[in-house]
Amino acid sequence: MFRKRTLSPGEKAEWRKIARSVKPMDESKARALEEDDPRPAAEPVKTGKKPAPKRLARLSGHPHPPHHHAPVPVDRSAEKRHRRGKLDLDARIDLHGLTQDQALSTLTHFLRMAWHEGYRNVLVITGKGLSQRARENEPWEYPEKPGVLRRKLPEWLGNQNLSQWVSGYSAAHTRHGGAGAFYVTLRVRPPGKAPTR
């Protein structure tokens, strides 16, 4: 946005001089000018049918660009192990008590480190958020629904920075945190390849 420039004293005097010389136009002269307009009036176009309503394209609602490959839920055999909680976890991180920005930064660092170390399965604990009863007992109102980190994690895993390391994710078994945690499967790191970011 630009700042409004003020007129200098000389410009103000010139403007007052011009403004005093302006006289209102006579209505008959104004009509004569309109009648002398060489442009023809546009004629309405007649069509046989009403135009079809325009259909809007459905948007996917994903924040990442279309050329980007988002992580998908893990394959069937891994999914079975995930559901049963019989998964060897290489590392875990707890994002409880962090703001969204802190959690995203911490998660990015953690996943980069885990991928660099060659880990395949990690546990990301987001927490479930406060229950309705707990929120009603608080003396303040929450600006967002509870479980913000839990809702944001799939979006974050799909963003371009994290999906380079992530191949899939699924909800954790109750022994590993249930609805408040996720199993994240990392891509296999080719031998000798270092992280790009």
State pLDDT tens for residues 107-126: 999 999 998 888 888 889 88
DSSP 97: T
pLDDT given at position 140: 55
pTM over cut 0.85: no
Average pLDDT on 158-171 reads 83
Q: In this predicted structure, which of 31-40, 42-51, 138-147, 151-160 has the lowest mean pLDDT?
A: 138-147
Quick one: tokens of 156?
């974050």
Give the DSSP H/E element, type plus range, for residue 150.
helix 148-158
Give the domains, in start order, of the chain with CATH numbers.
72-186 (3.30.1370.110)
Quick one: tokens of 31?
């009509």
Provide φ and ψ at 125, rounded to 5°. -95, 120
pLDDT given at position 105: 92
**Are 96 and 148 spatial neighbours (Cβ–Cβ below 8 Å)?**
no
pLDDT tens per residue across span 29-54? 777 776 766 666 667 666 666 666 65
Query: Count H helices, E strands: the chain?
Result: 7, 5
Q: Residue 69 above 70 pLDDT?
A: no
pLDDT above 90 covers a percentage of the chain that reads 7
